Structure 1
């Protein structure tokens, strides 16, 4: 079975397990997602170490977020994953004002909406995290690569997934939250990898 197809199957099983509150299924499937993508990256001949660092950080974040009371370690793990993506993208980055303006505006508006609902001790960690993931999105959408569209779409879906996590945790519970959060997250990681595997200068 192709690794990409296996990844999709495992992702769908994880979404089902999360939606149906079938914790044993989630504990089996969720920790498999990032290792499958790492193996897929290896199969595709990707040698950029920062991509693997980003996937390892995401894998740790996935595990922490499965555990009760481990939201902050999960946040830190994904923070390092996004920093790794920024480092990965940096050599191919070209300045563009529009992505900076649009993503900074959207992030600022979302933070203004959400901050009153975030506990005091979590405000600065959340602001820091939002700033870093916005930077990742800006870098992804300003790459001088032919495959930029896949990487950009992946980065935007990643931002959407994290925004849904924050909304679900700090504001109010979303119906079928696991479906939307894991669906966008799983697609995001795959699309970034897909785009990076086809990278070439525009």
Structure 2
């Protein structure tokens, strides 16, 4: 993957921030620092994007920044789920809006000649298996979770439908990032509604961080 010098320098800083978040999130006496480390992941991406997106279309820039701001809001809200279930619901809404912003970006480069039938069937099989495991634990969250699942499946599908209409690097980065986002959300859902998963905080944050990193880089590569 070809990165500019700015992107290379940022990547080192970004993964240091992610490592810092993983350490503070897993260490009880560093929980206070965790409240800074976790939002710093998306904040750093916002700064990178603002600095390096001057050649992108204004609509893509604005939608990407909205997606990142909604993600940041979701990150902050989900840090307080132990205090009230409301924080989980509002965090879910924030990430739902972030996914919608990404969908709107991906739709701009949709290849209408590309069929996604086989890919969608694969996603539906995956989602059906996940829902089968989750359904008994969802209770009042049944409808919100179904809506969220449909939106993120749409986000991954429209990432796939960019094939042939954007450069190969942008396509691959965004598709892999979208899949990582789906995996991250799946682990989070399983951990919350099915059964606790060992080291779930680490697997959720690693996949989530990679998702946001790859999607933002993929959008930046549109200018190439």
Say yes or no: TM over 0.5: yes
Contact 2:156 2:178 in 1 (8 A): yes
Return the match for 1:108 from 91, 104, 128. 128
What 5-or-longer segments of structure 2 have no aligned partner?
Answer: 1-5
Q: Which residue of 1 aligns with 2:13?
A: 6
Structure 1 runs of 4+ off > 6 angstroms? none
How far residue 98 of structure 1 moved from its aligned partner, in angstroms, is 2.2
Compare CA radii of gyration and give the structure with the larger one.
Answer: 2
Aligned mates of 1:200, 1:149 — CA distance in 2: 15
Return the match for 2:36 from 14, 28, 45. 28
What is the total number of aligned residue pairs between the two structures?
A: 200
How far residue 14 of structure 1 moved from its aligned partner, in angstroms, is 0.6
RMSD: 1.6
Secondary structure, in 3 states, of the residue corresponding to 2:12? Answer: helix
Q: Which residue of 1 aligns with 2:204?
A: 181
TM-score (norm 2): 0.84
The reply to whether residue 66 of structure 1 matches residue 89 of structure 2 is: no
Contact 1:4 1:40 in 2 (8 A): no
- The CA deviation string for residues 142-190 of structure 1, in whole angstroms up to 9 with x for no partner, is 2122221110000000000000000111111111111100000001000
Contact 2:42 2:68 in 1 (8 A): yes
Q: Which residue of 2 aligns with 1:156?
A: 179
How far residue 3 of structure 1 moved from its aligned partner, in angstroms, is 3.0
Aligned mates of 1:29, 1:200 — CA distance in 2: 30
TM-score (norm 1): 0.93
How far residue 200 of structure 1 moved from its aligned partner, in angstroms, is 6.2
Secondary structure, in 3 states, of the residue corresponding to 1:175? Answer: coil
Q: Which residue of 1 aligns with 2:158?
A: 139
Aligned mates of 1:182, 1:57 — CA distance in 2: 17
What 5-or-longer segments of structure 1 have no aligned partner?
Answer: none
Q: Which residue of 2 aligns with 1:196?
A: 219
Aligned mates of 2:42, 2:122 — CA distance in 1: 30
The reply to whether residue 167 of structure 1 matches residue 190 of structure 2 is: yes
Return the match for 1:93 from 110, 114, 128. 110
Aligned mates of 2:159, 2:19 — CA distance in 1: 26
